[in-house]
Chains A and B, each alone.
Chain A
Amino acid sequence: MQTKEPGLHGSSEVAERVSHSATSDRPYKIVLKGAAFFFGAVVLIFVWSVLHAAWPALKQNGYHLITGTSWVAGGNGPFGAFSLILDTLITTLIALLIAVPIGISSALALLFLVPPKFRTLGASLVELLAAVPSVVYGLWGLWYLTPWLSHTVQPFLAGLTGSNFPFNGPQEGFSLLLAGIVLSVMILPTIVAISRDVISVVPADLIEGGLSLGATRSQVFTKVILPTSKIGIMGAIVLGAGRALGETIAVAMVIGSNIQMPHSLFSTGGTLASTIATEFGDASGNTGAALAALALILMLITASVNAFARVLTNRAKASA
């Protein structure tokens, strides 16, 4: 007997059957398509305007935009965003490495381990974090985390590796590491909330089936719930990564904004998004075009992250 995972990938097959059935209705389709295409049109206009703005920088710098390592914003360039790209990837990676395990665990805890009375409150509190303006995260990072990092965390980490890579360099607090930590706190609510919703619709009979076979609670978690919700959780991670990649103000306040090739996790620097936000107010002419080019690079990175996630998802679907 072929067991099909419920819901998560069967819907498109259902949809196909529905659209070919005699009961399909046009107005519904038109409304859906209308909304979708309307938004698609807005996005296309947006992307075109970014391309148009970035064109002078693309012409001027060519591929050096991505491979060049020096970013001279005050005049005509050169504009090399390689160190910015590295910083972006490093900070987002740190944020995901921290937030994903903690986020999924929190979702599981909120659904199964926390006493039922506190579940709504707990969920709302975690989502509260999403409402805090990013300036406040920047201030919180600046006033509360920086001293903790420079006095406790950085010496400890440096001690682990004997002040060698990746924990070498001046311990000023402001660093890629701090930016990654602040980002992880900022994307935590997204990952927790969406994982919680995805896990809560795992059919009860699957869970009960596992338990009836004698599985312990952790085995139910790891072998029943998580594999079933894998695809949805991947979506949560992608949304979280998106927020981490695009965060501007909070990162700008804690990353040290001193653009350089990162030599360690304690380096200061700038991400693509934080540089756009920092230099936007004073950017004219070529610098403005270069910032628009940074936006394009960021969109490409986001697209790659999403494509990668989709590859993993498809492989998960195929193996199910």
Chain B
Amino acid sequence: MKKTLRRNLGVAIATIGLLSTMAVTVANAATLTGDLTFTSTDGLAAAASSINMGGSSFDEPFFNAAIPVYMSQAAKKSGSSAPTGLALYSPTGSTTGKKNVVAGTYQVGASDVPMGTVNQATGSSLDSSIITGAGPSTTLSNYVQIPVVLGGVGLMYNLPTVQKAFPKNPVILNAATLAGIYDGSITSWNNSAICAINPKIVNVTKNKAGKVTSSKCALPNIPIVPVFRADGSGTSYIFMDYLKSAASTSFAITSGSGNSSNKAVGTQIFPNTTFNQGQVPTAGLGAQKNAGVAGDVEQTVGAIGYVEYSYILLQHTLPAAQLINAAGKVVSLNAANVATDAANFSTTPPSEGTDGVVKNFSIVNGSGASAYPIAGYSWAIVPQDFKTLNAGSQAAETLVAMFLDWATQSGSTSGQNVAQQQGYVPLPSYVRTLAASQIAQLTYNGTKIVLN
């Protein structure tokens, strides 16, 4: 019995080994053409990655598209001495990205809210525990924060009867109604506040002469189900930031040390990366990731949820709401309107102070007639000096600097073009300047990194 078993096992292992060797040879021989593929000329060695990147899932499409493009461009330029060593990006979440950069397991961590952001109500940092947890010698100023992409946030809704009857008129909302929907004070779609700002979604009755005798709001009398992100997300932060700055909101959840009975003690934590218990109505639905929000909205008639712009761009089932911006105009979600919104903050650009905190990063509710009011940047966080922070070699830091420099430039072969192809909005010029000046701060053992 044992002999036949051993023989069968041997045959099986040999077959598997043969098949996998064949597969690897085939893979190595075939190089797919096109800008966006990873030519594995050095497949096995390239995986000896010394550079790990990860963080917010908002940035995943950008990095996973940009890394192969950059590597193949670099390979074409320098041939055999092409740099290897950029692994793909892990979408593990903003906070994990920040934690891992501070721990030294990521060389680049991406987060939608810059590290060290202070709570708008109290002035205390949202990330203090990440810094203090890493040891007494770690301070926020050890890290350089570089804006890499710009994106908008849209509202998807599910009203099939309205969509069918008024195909050219998406529902219009504003900050006040959105705040009411999400804090539970507006519970049905034909609420007077919503009807008031939707003059085109009406059922008109005309008399025999063709004159309009009455027009009633055509929004159905069904409950609104607000869908939110239950997992922490920069998209939530940007949305809440918008609600806070553009509407008087009642999301006064407080957080405090102590037991659950003294909820009044503590600090207001709005805006934040997540809606908490008590902030949204019990009829609301929490979902995981953009796809979860979209899925929940698709399954529930009367639901509304906030998702990234690129998500809305790529699906054709549900419409996106139009918003009334700060200038009082009705705007749709598109790249141009988001760019207008971002451009209008050029007089108060984001800046990283000597304490490492990034100020003025919020770009919600911008002025400008065509500005789409809900938008935000995403930030790459890099240790400022790889030697003193024990984050990697000089070659690694140079590669990171060069990659990020390429990634934040505009131009047909540069990173922002790749970003645009992924549904992001290209960074405005003043932000590109900021990115360049941030990258220039990277040093290795005190000497500035030279980009070649």
Contacts and interface: CB of A to CB of B under 8 A. Distances in A.
Interface of A: 60-62, 64, 68-80, 142-143, 146-147, 150, 170, 172-174, 249, 252-253, 256-260, 263, 267-268, 270, 278-286, 288
Contacts of A173: 299-300
Contact of B255 (A61, A72, A170, A252): A72
B420 interface: no
12 contacts: A73-B274, A74-B273, A74-B276, A79-B260, A172-B283, A253-B288, A263-B282, A278-B231, A279-B274, A282-B273, A284-B126, A285-B133
B288 A282 contact: no
Q: Which 4 A-B pairs have the closest CB atoms?
A: A282-B232, A285-B129, A281-B93, A75-B255
Contacts of B230: 252, 257-258, 270, 278-279
Nearest to B98: A284
Contacts of B299: 142-143, 146-147, 150, 173
Nearest to B231: A278
A258 B274 CA distance: 11
Contacts of B256: 76-78
Given A71-B277, A170-B283, 19 more contacts: A60-B258, A68-B259, A70-B277, A74-B269, A74-B274, A76-B267, A78-B259, A150-B299, A172-B285, A172-B300, A174-B285, A252-B230, A257-B287, A258-B277, A268-B282, A278-B231, A278-B288, A279-B230, A284-B98
A70 B231 contact: no
Contact of B276 (A72, A142, A286, A288): A72
A42 B230 CA distance: 33
A273 to B, nearest CB: 14
B133 A74 contact: no
B60 to A, nearest CB: 13
B117 to A, nearest CB: 12
A64 B259 contact: yes
A69 B259 CA distance: 10
Contacts of A252: 230, 288
B255 A285 contact: no
Contacts of A253: 287-288, 292
Interface of B: 92-96, 98-99, 119, 126-130, 133, 223, 225, 230-233, 253-263, 266-267, 269, 272-274, 276-278, 280, 282-288, 292, 295-296, 299-300
B130 A170 contact: no
Given A76-B255, A282-B233, A64 B260 contact: yes
A70 B258 CA distance: 12
Given A72-B255, A286-B129, A174 B296 contact: yes
B263 A78 contact: yes
A70 B292 CA distance: 24
Contacts of A142: 295-296, 299
Of A72, A143, A150, A285, which is in contact with the most chain B CB atoms at under 10 Å from its CB? A72
Contacts of B286: 256-259, 268, 270, 278
A284 B127 contact: yes
B305 to A, nearest CB: 13
Given A68-B261, A69-B260, A282-B274, A257 B283 contact: no
A258 B280 contact: yes
A77 B253 CA distance: 11
Nearest to B259: A64
Contacts of B127: 284
